[in-house]
Every structure is written in C-alpha cells, then in structure tokens.
Amino acid sequence: MRPLLPIEIESHTIELPRRITIGYDTLKELGRFILELIDARRVTIITGNNIIKRLGSKCEDALDSEDLVYKWLIASDTSNTTVQYLASRIDTTDLIIGFGGGKSVDVAKYIAYNLNKPFISVPTSAAHDGIASPFASIRGSNRPYSITTRMPIGILADLKIIRSSPKRLLASGCGDLLAKITAVKDWELGRDEKNEYFGTYSASLAHLSASIIMKEAKKFNDKEFIRTLVEALISSGVAAGIAGSSRPCSGSEHLFSHALEFIAPNKGFHGERCGLGTIMMANLHGLDWEVIRDTLDSVGAPTNAYQIGLSKDEIIKALILARNIRPERYTILNKIKLNEEKALDLAKRCNII
C-alpha cells in the first residue's frame, strides 16, 4: 500500500472571542463589558424563565447603569419553531446576548448567526463547552448534531452564579471535557487512515482541557475548581474555533450522545451522555477507560446507564446507530463496526449496563 502524502488543506478562518471576563460578581459589569467591546446601544437578551426571575433585575441594573436599551425574549426550548418565533420578535438590535444555560446560549447563538448580529455569551452554568464554541444544538433542524454558527465576540462568566448552579450541571461539564480525550483520538484516526486535516495545536488545546479536569477532579467541591472548569470549557470552545470544525471536541462519544438524544430524548444531560460514551469509546481505542470512569465518578457524574434512566436496549441501539449520525466523520466506530452482539459486549465490559 502506498503511503499517504501529506494533506494540503484550503485556508480556514479562525474566529475567537475578543474579550473574556471570568470572576466573582462580574454580572454587574455587563453594561461596561458590552460598550468596551462593541458600539451597541440596543441589546436583545435571550434567556429562560427561571433565570429572568432569579437574575433579571441584576442584569437590568448592569445595563441601566450604561443607559443601554434592552429587550427580553424567553427561550422555552431549542426547537426550530422557538428559534423562528424569537427571531421574528427582533426588529432592531445591535447585539444579542445568550444569558443562561446551554439552551439560552444555543438559541441566542443561532439567532445571532442567522440575523448576522454579534453575540455575547453570559453563562449561568458550566454544563458543556457550548458557552464558547461556534456550534449550537437546535432540535428539528434535520441534523441530530450541532450546527456551525459563529464564536461569541465576548464571554462574561460570573463564577458566583455558576457556582450556585446544581452540582449535577457542573459534573456534566466535566463529562463534556473528558470527551475531548476520545474526540482527539478519533481525529488522529481520521488523519492516519483517511488523510484528513489534523490541527496539532487545536487538538493539544482540547486535550489539555480534559487533562486538567482529570488532574483536578479531586478538588471538585473547592471554590477555585469552578474557575478551572469554566476556563477549560472556554478553552475547549476556542480549540474548535482554531480548528475551524468541532473535530477536536466532538468524536464518537458525541455521536453516541446524539444517537441517545434521538432514541431516548431528555434522558440525561449532554455532558452526562458524552461521559458514558467516552468510557466506551476509550475502551475501543485501547485507552485507560477505567481512569476516565473513576474521574467521572469522583465528580458525581453517571458512570452507568441506569443512573440517568437509560435502559440496556437504548444503550445498544445508540451504539449501533452512532456511526450513521455523521457518516462523513471518521471515528473508531467506522473502524470497529458494532453489531448488537459487539455493542452488548462493549457496554457490559465497561459496566455501562
């Protein structure tokens, strides 16, 4: 067999946030943060009902202090119907803010992309790397995986707010970060077997985000771990921006998660499903899957299907379906094709079922 020649790729554009502010009680700086970043006097804030009840007045105080005009829109879900309805409610705006968890941030990001408006991410939890990535998960888009949009021009993370979110969300964020271990291995596989472009720097940055969580997981309940988690999630999103694709952050473990979302919607958070997938995909790659499992367990993330209400059949079906979610994305699931017998053996071998 002739050796593969080094691949030459077309140029790709790298988009990165212009400013990132991380700290305690930083929400009060939002108005000044905006004006130092962009000339925007009219802003649209997309959030959820619970967030506006808890933090709406504090957000308004920050905007009022700089005489900004604002409009609130409530994202009840991430469906295409909701996206289209909210977009129709925006007449004139200079900036769109996603203020809340992954749902609000994704909806705001996608609307901003479609309306060609700048976007700022103001996360209230750290459940996955969508707070900084150029990708959004929108249901009903006929793609069961994330859609490419643009990076936020700014990210303002208030650690006081994020730290007060449920521990389960923080553990989910850890699961999404550990997923970078197998995502990078899958990307290496695409490089080695399909001559796919591989970005060494972005892959290293994504892997570093996972490695730091592995190293610091024992400090999960410490105050400063929140800063580490948020910085790692942002770095992961930046890695995708540098790569020009989700390759360094999303591999076979994410395909498994997307398959589960299709087969068993609303069971488990994104990062929790990715964590389970990472355990099994690490096994297929010949990695130390047990240390990944133990790290997830140490932060309180699920390490078996039943902890998030998934059945044996749902796990098996998702493992078999996963490689068909994105046929063009070469992963370990293309090399080791799972049938029902092999999928059952894998899930049992890793104690997922």
Rounded distance between C-alpha atoms, residue 249 and residue 271, angstroms: 12
Q: Does 154 share its domain with 199?
A: no
In a domain, 1, yes or no: no
SS (H, E, C) the chain: CCCCCCCCCCCCCCCCCCEEEEECCHHHHHHHHHHHHCCCCEEEEEECHHHHHHHHHHHHHHHHCCCCEEEEEECCCCEHHHHHHHHHCCCCCCEEEEEECHHHHHHHHHHHHHHCCCEEEEECCCCCHHHCCCEECCECCCCCCCEECCCCCEEEEEHHHHHCCCHHHHHHHHHHHHHHHHHHHHHHHHHHHHCCCCCHHHHHHHHHHHHHHHHHHHHCCCCCHHHHHHHHHHHHHHHHHHHCCCCCCCCHHHHHHHHHHHHCCCCCCHHHHHHHHHHHHHHHHCCCHHHHHHHHHHCCCCCCHHHHCCCHHHHHHHHHHHHHCCCCCCCHHHHCCCCHHHHHHHHHHCCCC
Range of the domain at 67: 19-163
| 121 and 173 both lie in a single domain | no
Find the range with the poorest average confidence among 13-17, 86-90, 227-231: 13-17
Question: Do residues 213 and 264 share a domain?
Answer: yes
- As a whole-number percent, the residues of the chain with pLDDT over 70 amount to 95
Classify residue 320: in a domain, yes or no.
Answer: yes
Domain boundary among 163, 191, 223: 163
Distance of CA 60 to the CA centre of its chain: 27
At residue 144 the predicted structure's pLDDT band, cuts being 50, 70 and 90, is: low
Average pLDDT of the segment spanning 33-59: 96
pLDDT for the residue 343: 98
Amino acid found at 40: A
pLDDT at 1: 37
Same domain, 153 and 222: no
Residue 290 has pLDDT above 70, yes or no: yes
Q: Are 294 and 176 in the same domain?
A: yes
User: What per-residue confidence (pLDDT) applies to 85?
Assistant: 95
Choose the weakest-confidence range: 30-39, 128-137, 325-334.
Answer: 128-137
Task: Give the CA count within 13 Å in the CB-facing half-sphere of 123.
Answer: 34
Per-residue tokens: 266: 């609303």
Of 106, 134, 163, the last residue of a domain is: 163
Per-residue model confidence (pLDDT) at position 25: 96
Structure tokens at 274: 């990715």
Residue 2, in any domain of the structure = no
Residue 11 lies in a domain: no
Whether residues 185 and 281 share a domain: the answer is: yes
Q: Is residue 109 part of a domain?
A: yes
Mean pLDDT confidence for 101-125: 95
Q: What is the pLDDT of residue 2?
A: 40
Domain identity same for 23 and 115: yes
Mean pLDDT computed over every residue of the chain: 94
Tell me whether residue 333 is in a domain.
yes
Q: Over the stretch 199-234, which tens digit does the pLDDT of each residue have?
A: 999 999 999 999 999 999 999 999 999 999 999 999
Domain at 269, CATH number: 1.20.1090.10
8 pLDDT band, cuts 50/70/90, is low
Same domain, 215 and 155: no
Q: What is the pLDDT of residue 137?
A: 85
Q: Are residues 335 and 235 in the same domain?
A: yes
Give the end of a domain, one of 163, 194, 225. Answer: 163
Percent of the chain with pLDDT over 90: 87
Q: What is the CATH number of the domain that holds 57?
A: 3.40.50.1970
* Residues 149, 187 within the same domain: no
What is the pLDDT at residue 147? Answer: 85
Residue 12 has pLDDT above 90, yes or no: no
The answer to whether position 13 is within a domain reads no
Given a cut of 90, is residue 148 above it in pLDDT?
A: no
Is residue 334 within 8 Å of residue 253, measured between CB atoms? no
Q: Report yes or no on 3 lying in a domain.
A: no
Residues 150 and 217 in one domain: no
User: Are 241 and 286 members of one domain?
Assistant: yes
Q: What integer is the mean pLDDT of 241-267?
A: 94
Greater confidence, 143 or 176? Answer: 176
Structural domains in the chain (count): 2
User: Which pLDDT score is estimated for 68?
Assistant: 97
